[in-house]
Amino acid sequence: MAKNITIYTTNTCSYCVMVKRWLGSKGISYEEVNLEQYPDRQAEALSMSGALTVPITVVTKNDDSKEVIVGYNLARLAPAIA
């Protein structure tokens, strides 16, 4: 089970909205980091994902391991939060 979920987003990202809606439909809470509001956190998102695209969803497990999912990828996101 996921202990914590963080989603890195931007204002114009439609896939970000889709990830947030999907998590909301499952009743799963998350922290959102809008990179336009917090540009100082862009390097953090890049170092975790290796990507310059959003959404970047970071799932921290109970054992503190992290799974990083780039984009709207339910095939990876669903098992990561299970």
- What would the pLDDT profile of 3-41 be if each residue is shown by its tens digit? 899 999 999 999 999 999 999 999 999 999 999 999 999
49-79 burial code (b ≥16 CB/10 A, e <16) = beeeebbbbbbeeeeeeebbbbbbeeeebee
Residues 50-64: tens digit of each pLDDT? 998 999 999 999 899
Say which CATH number the domain at 36 has.
Answer: 3.40.30.10
Containing domain of residue 31, as a range?
A: 2-81
Residues 64-75: tens digit of each pLDDT? 999 999 999 999
In which element (H, E) is residue 69 found?
strand 66-70
**Per-residue model confidence (pLDDT) at position 82:** 87
SS3 state of residue 59: strand
The domain total for the chain is 1
**Residue written as tokens 């009743």?**
27
